[in-house]
Amino acid sequence: MIAVVLVGGEGTRLRPLTLDEPKPVLPIGGVPFASLLLDRLAAAGVSRVILSCGYLPERLAAGIGEPPPGVEVEVVVEDEPLGTAGAIAFAARGRVDGPYLALNGDVLGDADLGALVAEHRDAGARATILLTPVDDPTRYGVVVTDPDGTVERFVEKPPTADGLGPAPWWVNAGAYVLEPDVLADVPADRMTSIEREIFPDLVGHGLRALRSAGYWRDIGTLESFLAANADAVRGRVHTRLGGADGAVLVDPAAAVDAAARLVGPVRVCAGARVEAGAEVGPDAVVGPDAVVAAGARVHGTVLLAGAAVGPDAEVADSAVGCDATVGAGAALRGCALGTGAEAAAGERLADARRPG
């Protein structure tokens, strides 16, 4: 089975973290998000993954790490963004000759994609969409089905929930199985949206959907990125991290002083250092080679690789980019620091975005 993963977005809502790293390379629990996606595809029996990208393709290729055994990864780069349908068609052209998976590359989930493929085959569908329940339908593609799973309506980002039935609303989870002919006629020279142009036209012509109540989160904002990290360490989403509620996951190659306090759920990655009197957690990830100095407090926060928090600083509900530094005694809340950015000693910052 082949999977096409859409990773062309610039991740604008996650700036400055995405100014020099594409979103799929950002870490969840210290592991590049795309690596977790590859684990999931491998578990579903996928042997070839085509990453469809346009933004920072070299960083993407370098940042995803070693693919799981038996999975081959190819990076395909568009000259211009082709939209979701155009990008899938461009990546699939000449590479697929049977049903294939297509995924949005910014969703952390653990629904069984193998079951989606099986359902598609058993029903003889032309396209099958995975669905997840949400409370706010206006940010997603709402999919109305009959009890049998046949799609009756597909409405991308409806302005209101009027006329869409009662909550919860079942929306497009960003994972599909497609027959090769579905996107065969998509033009190669203009943007085409699978959500706005293809799926609405396919209603009544073999478009089906499968509901899943598994974990699901779009990681596109600072809040959801931090929440996805916490959920992975807590084990709310099934990943290779093997998290659990209250888990204290310390890599054997990390140095945590005996007089430091770790409050689970927390993860400390290889090469990281937590000094005496520091308190880390709950809901914190100390990335590879990151440092939390003596007396500092870090909670609800992700420190990316090589980030450093100075003595007696407090960092809450924030993301500190690669090699960024927080000076001694500084206090940050709800902030995102880009690669190499600096918060000065004693500085107080709330809800700030600071590029490096």
Binding pattern for the stretch 106-145 against ligand GDD, x by CB under 6 A and - elsewhere: xx--------------------------------xx----
Residue whose CB is less far from Mg ion, 218 or 231: 218
Helix axes 113-123, 33-43, angle to 10 degrees: 50
Q: Which does 347 bind (CB under 5 to 8 A by kind): ligand GDD, Mg ion, none?
A: none
Can residue 63 be called a binding residue for ligand GDD (CB under 6 A)? no
Which range of residues in 29-37, 101-109, 124-132, 197-205 is near Mg ion by CB under 5 A? 101-109
Instruction: Answer whether the bond into residue 16 is a cis peptide, omega within 30°.
Output: yes
Residues 17, 54, 356: CA angle, nearest 5 degrees: 20
Look at residue 117 and give its three-state secondary structure.
helix
Smallest separation (angstroms) from ligand GDD to the CB of 55: 8
Neighbouring-strand partners of residue 196: none
Residue whose CB is less far from Mg ion, 14 or 262: 14
**Could you tell me where the DSSP H helices lie in 1-71?**
33-43, 57-63
Contacting residues for 164 by C-beta, under 8 A, at least 6 apart: 137, 142, 144, 155, 158
Can residue 104 be called a binding residue for ligand GDD (CB under 6 A)? yes
- Exposed, middle or buried by CB within 10 Å (0-12, 13-18, 19+), for 156? middle
d(CA 334, CA 290) in angstroms, rounded, equals 19
Can residue 83 be called a binding residue for ligand GDD (CB under 6 A)? yes
Instruction: Answer whether the bond into residue 69 is a cis peptide, omega within 30°.
Output: no
Can residue 306 be called a binding residue for ligand GDD (CB under 6 A)? no
Tell me the two tokens of residue 297: 């407090």
Strands 342-343 and 325-326: parallel
Near ligand GDD by CB under 6 A: residue from 1, 8, 49, 131: 8
Can residue 151 be called a binding residue for ligand GDD (CB under 6 A)? no
Q: Which does 22 bind (CB under 5 to 8 A by kind): Mg ion, ligand GDD, none?
A: none
Closest CA to 240 of 42, 61, 60: 42
Can residue 268 be called a binding residue for ligand GDD (CB under 6 A)? no
d(CA 209, CA 170) in angstroms, rounded, equals 10
Binding pattern for the stretch 204-243 against Mg ion, x by CB under 5 A and - elsewhere: --------------x-x-----------------------
Near ligand GDD by CB under 6 A: residue from 156, 251, 257, 342: 156
Can residue 82 be called a binding residue for ligand GDD (CB under 6 A)? yes
Near ligand GDD by CB under 6 A: residue from 28, 41, 49, 87: 87
Can residue 174 be called a binding residue for ligand GDD (CB under 6 A)? yes
- How many residues at the interface with ligand GDD, by CB under 6 A? 26
Closest CA to 255 of 232, 227, 226, 276: 276
> Cα dihedral angle (7, 12, 15, 19), rounded to 10 degrees?
60
**In one letter, which amino acid is 172?**
N
Near Mg ion by CB under 5 A: residue from 106, 119, 283, 312: 106
Residues that bind ligand GDD (CB under 6 A): 6-9, 52-54, 78, 81-84, 87, 104-107, 140-141, 156, 171-172, 174, 195, 218, 220
Residues that bind Mg ion (CB under 5 A): 106, 218, 220
